Structure 1
């Protein structure tokens, strides 16, 4: 018995592949609502902080102004921020000027000499040194500038005793020069002047001046220095304020009251009121403090436009 032969199946159409499984859609993530700005960073918070800072700054000056208008009885018998029963400012100023033979005016003149002339010369030296460190090439420049930066980090009070010993060796103790000469050195001014020179004085302008035959000093005096005027004013303001408020160095150097700056003289009056029982000296110290603040405010108001132009000079570059 024969078995039928197995015939191959006729070729048919190729079956289509099964469709791939489509992944289920992921759940939508909810967008987080933007965080509200912190109360400290909001406009109202910043305004409130600035208002507190302004109040903190003006409160001592307000107390000083109100106390200077009072009589001695009102000064100790009324609230510090309340006006006196009568206005005594003119009388207090007259007593201030005539006290101890007019020594207060001498203190003011001494302080103007220490701070005004000293800060002016310190600003000139600082601008010249900063320009030299920036534009001139000389051996050991960066090492010398590192010493300048080291001088910036050392507080002035830490140098008072070494300066006293040097002045004693030179025979300058209890003289005008013992307070005036240290004010001519201002390391931070040198650093600031180098920064201003790098950003405000183009090298191309100096090269053109040198090609025209200008000396280094003439290029600095006629070209670089006018460009550095905002930096000069800034350095002058910083050093003027620092010398005007200086206390410890004159305290160490001076024993002659005719050479005192105004801060040291006011301290003598205040100490006399506390230790020797002279309440009139306390009122003199209060009124004298108000008068001593006035030159600082006047100098800043007169020179602030130069300072602002220097601070914003790079904003439109």
Structure 2
């Protein structure tokens, strides 16, 4: 009679113990508890409803007349009047509504592109180069983050009026390109996403600083640039006080200023105004949904120290 010894099970490494069990699930040792998952889902659902509720309310309100807005349930449809409110919107704005939307897209898009390039260039310079006055420049930028934008509106008007640029598109685009917050983000991203060793290797290969920035740095900072672009785009789109001070021609108004003029009328058609607000925000929603993937990657790049 022969006795066989049981073969001991092979020892598993720490990496194997922490490896995911199936699919994309996290390792069992790192997986959150069931209660934590339920709480997370509930909190995220409530947050989603909180942010979607204003859009839902605007969709409901834009279908009603002034009388229905007062008499009917504010959270559900009454006599649907989308077509009538749209006709009132176009009639009151004298056909300028879609031009106002196009103006907002032009102002925000131009300011976003130019401001992003300026912010990334300045942030890259502050992060990767050492020169006299660098600390002072950083302090001035940080101080600019603490200064309210409304405080600069009247000085900006005086300056632009002196150089005869008021009531032009440049009176909106040029001030909106300056973003201390964008420079700050560009500096943080450049510190964490651009390896110094890569820049030194490019210099050893004979690449100029401009070529390094254009062919290497901008590619590494692409997700960060999307994030900065969205911040500047939304800030310019929502800016009301600057266009109010600078623009007097109806053809140059952004959609925010145009809808304000509609509400300041002594008997505004509120359903038509809600229709304008709903149509006016669609480009921003489309932009966020289209750039969501790059925006999330940019936020993650700025949050991780390499």
Same fold (TM over 0.5): yes
TM-score (ref. length: structure 1): 0.79
Aligned partner of 1:24 in structure 2 is none
Q: Answer whether contact 1:130 1:197 (CA < 8 A) is retained.
A: yes
Q: CA deviation at 1:45?
A: 6.0
1:190 aligns with 2:183: yes
Aligned partner of 1:254 in structure 2 is 247
Aligned partner of 2:117 in structure 1 is 124
Which digits, 9 at most, give the CA deviation of each residue in 1:105-156, with x for residues without a partner?
1211111111011111101111111111111222211111111111111121
1:242 aligns with 2:255: no
Which digits, 9 at most, give the CA deviation of each residue in 1:214-246, with x for residues without a partner?
110100010111000011000000011100000
1:206 aligns with 2:206: no
1:74 aligns with 2:68: yes
- Cα separation, 2, equivalents of 1:258 and 1:88: 28
Q: Answer whether contact 2:89 2:275 (CA < 8 A) is retained.
A: yes
Aligned partner of 1:135 in structure 2 is 128
Aligned partner of 1:88 in structure 2 is 81
User: How has the CA–CA distance of structure 1 residues 173 and 312 changed in structure 2, closer, same or farther, with 3 Å as cutoff?
Assistant: closer
Aligned partner of 1:284 in structure 2 is 272
Aligned partner of 2:108 in structure 1 is 115
- Give the one of 253, 259, 264 matched to 2:257: 264
Q: Answer whether contact 1:250 1:264 (CA < 8 A) is retained.
A: yes
Q: CA deviation at 1:57?
A: 2.3
- Cα separation, 1, equivalents of 2:95 and 2:276: 12
Q: Identify unmatched segments of 5+ residues in structure 2.
A: 1-34
Q: Answer whether contact 2:63 2:271 (CA < 8 A) is retained.
A: no
- Cα separation, 2, equivalents of 1:309 and 1:97: 40
- Cα separation, 1, equivalents of 2:189 and 2:305: 16
1:218 aligns with 2:206: no
1:311 aligns with 2:304: no
Which digits, 9 at most, give the CA deviation of each residue in 1:60-114, with x for residues without a partner?
22110111122444234312212123x3223433443344331111211111111
- Give the one of 207, 226, 231 matched to 1:233: 226
Q: Answer whether contact 1:71 1:84 (CA < 8 A) is retained.
A: no
Q: Identify unmatched segments of 5+ residues in structure 1.
A: 1-40
* Structure with larger RCO (C-alpha < 8 A, sep 6+): 2
Aligned partner of 2:165 in structure 1 is 172
* Equivalent residues in 2 for 1:146-165, closer than 5 Å: 146-165=139-158
User: Which deviates the most, 255-264 or 211-220?
Assistant: 255-264
- Give the one of 295, 302, 308 matched to 2:290: 302
TM-score (ref. length: structure 2): 0.82
- Cα separation, 2, equivalents of 1:48 and 1:162: 48
Q: What root-mean-square deviation, in Å, do the aligned CA atoms of Structure 1 and Structure 2 show? A: 2.2
Residue-pair matches, total: 271
